[in-house]
Amino acid sequence: MDVVLPAKYRALRLGWPGRLLLPDILAFAVREGIVDRILAFPSFGLERLCDALVRELGYDLARGNRRRMIRLLVDLLAECGWLERAGNGASWAFRLAEVPPVASPAADEGAGGEIRFFRRCLSSVPEYLRGHEPPIGFDADNIGAWEEFLGCDEFQACRAALLDMMPCSNGSSMRLLDLCYGPGLGIEIAMERRPGARISAIDFTEAFAATARRRVERACARNLEAGIPSSPVDWFGPSDWRGFGTPLPFASGSFDAVLFSCGDPYIPPESREGVYLELRRILAPGGTLGILTRGYPDPENRHVSLFWLRVTALIHDFAESVCAGWQGFAEVEGSLRMFTGMGFSGAGMPPGKMNFLGSSLWLMRKG
């Protein structure tokens, strides 16, 4: 059972991106001819489908995460009931005798930056699957797109929820690290929610530094108007940290809390355990780690149980795959084993509970 959030967070429209974007994805699969290739098989395995897409549609699935994207699409079609497992479960068959009807893609009205970002990503998918380089990176050309996407209402509310729920033995003077601070959205909310916190911010790129600093200056001004002093933010960049898989430039036990929002899916799988061991190292005993991500929908519907959250996770994973460095959402069961093995436990939640909101938010205490 998920943790019940305070009323101010219940306005989150969970799964809203999935509701708006599902017609877009189905339209893409029909328009590209992927559904026709599936219908040509009485049943198929993932490798057989990939071979047909390479041969008949000119896809280049040998590099990067492109083959994984086909798996995501198959999982989405199955989640929606258009595919079903055939035989021993290693292959699939189309459930319907004809192509499912394709609804018109939903309008952008009221959709916000998250939907606009996903639609931009989806428009690049055909070329990307045919071998083109990732069109969206963490660089100066994409600052506006990332700020609009990462600053969407859903992600902002989730950051606020994590910060509000983070226990801290040091009270208002908590030592907080914002890992991969990006446009500074988490820092700004932290300065609002925890005005006395001593904040450090680190990222492996300087692309967002100016934007983040301007956001912090505005937050300082607001606090000053309210008569609340703000501690200066300590900034760290690529000269201090080269990214996932390299040591963080902090002594052991330096922080009471770490906020890590939207960065987990960019950790290479072979580095993931090392990254979280490094975060555990820099946390003080009893320190809290808060993660904003999504969980890959599990077949048993135990960890990600709501249909539209499952659809949203698959669509989000598929769309953001065209961004440089994207590795995808992690399997929840594997994450639970990893964190438990490291000595993390749930913070401020029922015993054994580390994740909530369909495994989109993780709040853990260093044991």
CB 356 within 8 A of CB 270: no
Question: Are 337 and 238 found together in one domain?
Answer: yes
319 found inside a domain? no
Residue 4 — very low, low, confident or very high, per pLDDT cuts 50/70/90? low
Kindly tell me if the per-residue pLDDT of 321 is higher than 90.
Answer: yes
315 found inside a domain? no
3-state SS string for 236-300: ECCCCCCCCCCCCCCCCCCEEEEEEECCHHHCCHHHHHHHHHHHHHHEEEEEEEEEECCCECCCC
CATH number at residue 19: 1.10.10
CB 275 within 8 A of CB 245: yes
Q: Which of 133, 154, 189 finishes a domain? A: 133
Write out the residue range of the structural domain in which residue 279 sits: 143-293+330-366
The CA dihedral of 326, 295, 60, 88, to the nearest 10 degrees, is 160
Q: What is the pTM of this model?
A: 0.93
280 sits in the region (left: phi over 0; alpha: psi -120 to 50; else beta) called alpha
Question: Are 338 and 362 found together in one domain?
Answer: yes
69 found inside a domain? yes
Question: Are 238 and 359 found together in one domain?
Answer: yes
What is the pLDDT at residue 100?
54
Segment 52-61 shows an average pLDDT of 98
Segment 194-222 shows an average pLDDT of 95
Question: Are 190 and 107 found together in one domain?
Answer: no
Count of domains for the chain: 2
Question: Are 158 and 128 found together in one domain?
Answer: no
186 found inside a domain? yes
Question: Are 180 and 284 found together in one domain?
Answer: yes
**% of the chain at pLDDT higher than 70:** 89
Question: Are 104 and 195 found together in one domain?
Answer: no
Q: Which of 101, 133, 165 finishes a domain? A: 133
215 found inside a domain? yes
